[in-house]
Structure 1
Amino acid sequence: MQRFEGKVALITAAAQGIGAAVARRLADEGAAVVVTDLQEDKLAEVAKSIGDQALPLRVDVTNRADVDAAVAAATERFGRLDVLVNNAGGCIVRTAPEDASAEEFHAQLDLTLVGASRCIQAALPQLVKNRGNVVTISSVNGLAAFGNIEYAAAKAGQIAMTVNYAARYGELGVRFNVVAPGTIRTPVWDHQPGTLERFSRMYPLGRVGEPEDIAAAVAFLASGDAAWITGHTLPVEGGVLTGPGGMNLGPSGFFKKEYPES
C-alpha cells in the first residue's frame, strides 16, 4: 500500500529501534522521511537504507533552534510536512524515586515531554496548512504502574498533552494520537542478557514486541485509514495490561509457574 504517497514525515530518534522502523515503514508506503537523531553515524545508515527519499539531520529535541531548523529543512527539501512522529525519549533517572534529584526529574521531562511539545509547536504551521497529524510514542508506563516513576510521569504527560492538542486543533483538521508500547526489543536491552526472555513471561501473547509492531501502529494512525481518530491512545503491548500486575495467567504463564495449584 502507498498510503503516504506525496506525504512528508519527520521522525525523531530515528537512528535505531522504533524510530528507524517507523521511518522505513512510512518510506515503504511512499513517504519522504526526515529522520533525526543525535547518533549521526547510525542515522546515516538508516537514511542510506531508505534511499533518496530520506533526509538525515542531527537534532537535539531539547534545543528549540535544532527543532525549528529540522522543520525548515524538511519544507525546503520536500516542500511540505504532513506527519510528525515524536519518538525521542528515554529513561534518564536510574535511582530510586525518593533519591532522584530535581535536576534529574527536570531532565527527564525536558527530553520526553517538553521535547515532544517543542516538536509539535515547530511543526504546527505546516500541519495546519496540510491538515496533517502527530503520532507520539508514549509507553504503557504512562497508563499503569510498571515503575520508573519519573519516566512514567513524562509519558503520562504526553498522553494528556495529546488529548488537549486534539481537542484544540480538531476543527482545523489536525489529528493527534499516541501509541503506547510495552517492552520492545531495541538496542537499549543489548547489554542486559536474558532480560527480554524473562519479561516475555509477563505477556499473554508470549513475547516482547518488535520495533515493526510499533511501526505498523504508527502507520495506521498517521494514515487516512485513521481519518476519524484523534485524541486516542493505542496500547500496543501484547496484552500486558489485561492481567493483574501484567502477569500472564495462561496455563503455561508466569502466574501459574510461580503459584502452582495445590
Structure 2
Amino acid sequence: MQRFEGRVALVTAAAQGIGAAVARRIAAEGGSVVVTDLQEDKVAGVAGELGERAIGMRVDVTNRDQVDAAVAAAVERFGRLDVVVNNAGGCIVTSVPEDATAEEWHRQLDLTLVGAARCIQAALPHLVKTRGNVVTISSVNGLAAFGNIEYSAAKAGQIAMTVNYAARYGGLGVRFNVVAPGTIRTPNWDKQPDTLNEFAKMYPLGRVGEPEDIAAAVAFLASDDASWITGHTLAVEGGVLTGPGLVNLTPSGHFRKEY
C-alpha cells in the first residue's frame, strides 16, 4: 500500500522505539517524514535510513521555537504538511504521588500534554490547508488505573484535548485521533527483560507489544482509510483492558484448559 504517497508527516520522539517505527511505516507507504527527537545522532540515523524523503532534526517539544522550526522545515523541504504524530513524552516523575512537587507536575505536563499542544498549534494552519490530521500517542494509563499518577493524568489530558480539537476543527476537515498503547518493547526496557516477561503475563494475547504494532495503528488512523474517524481513541493493548491479572481464568474462576 502507498497510502501516504505525496504526503508529509512530522513525527516527534522518532529516534527509536514507537516513533522510529511510525516514521519507517509512513515512509514505506510512500510518505515523506520529518523525524524529530532530542537525540541528534539517532535522529540522523533514522532519517538517513529513510533516504531523500526524510529529514532529521533535534526538537525539544517543550520549546515552541524549535517546534515551529520543525514545522517550517517540513513545509520548506516538502511543500506541505499532512500528518503530525505526537509521540514525545515519558514518565519523568519519580516521587510517590503524595510527595510529588508542583515543579514535578509542571515538568510532566509540559512535556507530555503541553508539548503535544505546541505541535498541534504550530501545525494547524498547514493541516487546515491540506485537510490533514493529528495522531497522538497516549497510553492505557490515560484510560485505566495503572499507576504513575502524574504521567497518567497527562496521558488522559491528551485524550480530552484530542476530543475537543476533533469537535472544533472537524468542519474544516482536520481529524484528531489517539492511539493508546499498552506495554511496548522499546529500548527503555532493554535493561529490564525480566520485567517485560512478567508484564506479558497480564496480557490475554500473551505478549507485550512491539513498536510496529503501534505504527500499524497510527498508519491506519493517519490515512484515508480512517477518513470518517475523528475524536477516537484506539487502544492497542493486547487485551489488558479486559482485566489485568485475570488472563488465565475462565468466567467461573477456574484456570482455562490448555490445548
Same fold, TM exceeding 0.5?
A: yes
Residue type of the alignment partner of 1:94: T
Point out where structure 2 has 5 or more consecutive residues left out of the alignment.
none
Match of 1:162?
162
* Equivalent in the alignment of 1:95: 95
Match of 2:245 among 244, 247, 251: 247
Q: Which residue of 1 aligns with 2:200?
A: 200
Residue by residue over 1:37-94, the C-alpha shift from the partner in whole angstroms, topping out at 9 and shown as x without a partner, is 0100111111111111111011000000000010001000000000000000000001
Decide whether the 8 Å contact of 2:203 with 2:247 is kept in 1: no
Amino acid at match of 1:211: P
**Alignment match, 1:115:** 115
SS in structure 1 at match of 2:6: coil
Please give the alpha-carbon distance, in whole angstroms, between the structure 2 residues aligned to 1:64 and 1:148.
26
1:3 aligns with 2:11: no
TM alignment of 1:1-262, pairs within 5 A: 1-243=1-243, 246-250=244-248
Q: Aligned equivalents of 1:248 and 1:236: distance in 2?
A: 18
Contact 1:201 1:248 (8 Å CA) reproduced: no
> CA separation in 2, counterparts of 1:233 and 1:165?
13
The answer to whether the 8 A contact 2:22-2:215 is kept is yes
Contact 2:133 2:176 in 1 (8 A): yes
Partners of 1:240 and 1:248 within 8 A in 2: no
Q: What RMSD over aligned residues (CA atoms) do the two structures have, in Å? A: 1.2
Moved more, 130-139 or 183-192: 183-192
TM-score, scaled to structure 2: 0.96
Overall identity of the aligned pairs, in %? 80
Q: In structure 2, do the counterparts of structure 1 residues 197 and 256 end up closer, same or farther at CA, with 3 Å as the change threshold? A: farther
Counterpart of 1:219, as a letter, is A
Structure 1 unmatched runs, 5+: 258-262
Could you list the structure 1 runs, at least 4 aligned residues long, displaced by more than 4 angstroms after superposition.
none
Given that 2:7 and 2:32 are in contact with CA atoms closer than 8 Å, whether structure 1 keeps it comes out as yes
CA contact (8 A) 1:249 1:256 kept: no
Amino acid at match of 1:95: S
Question: CA offset at residue 256 of structure 1?
Answer: 7.0
Which amino acid letter does the alignment assign opposite residue 250 of structure 1?
Answer: N
- What TM-score, normalized to structure 1? 0.95
In the alignment, the residues of structure 2 paired with residue 8 and residue 33 of structure 1 have an alpha-carbon distance, to the nearest angstrom, of 6
Matches of 1:191 and 1:99, distance apart in 2: 27
Taking the aligned partners of 1:79 and 1:154, their CA distance within structure 2 comes to 33
Partner Cα separation in structure 1 for residue 51 and residue 136 of structure 2: 25
Code of the residue aligned with 1:144 in structure 2: it is: A
Cα deviation, residue 193, structure 1: 3.2
Q: Distance in 2 between matches of 1:128 and 1:173?
A: 7
CA contact (8 A) 2:205 2:239 kept: yes
Q: How many positions carry a matched residue from both structures?
A: 253
CA distance in 1: counterparts of 2:76 and 2:162, whole angstroms: 27
Per-residue deviation, 1:249: 2.7
Tell whether the 8 Å contact from 2:201 to 2:247 is kept in structure 1 after alignment.
Answer: no
Distance 2:238 2:98 in 1: 31
Q: Give the letter aligned to residue 81 of structure 2.
A: L
Q: Is the 8 A contact 1:86 1:135 kept in 2?
A: yes
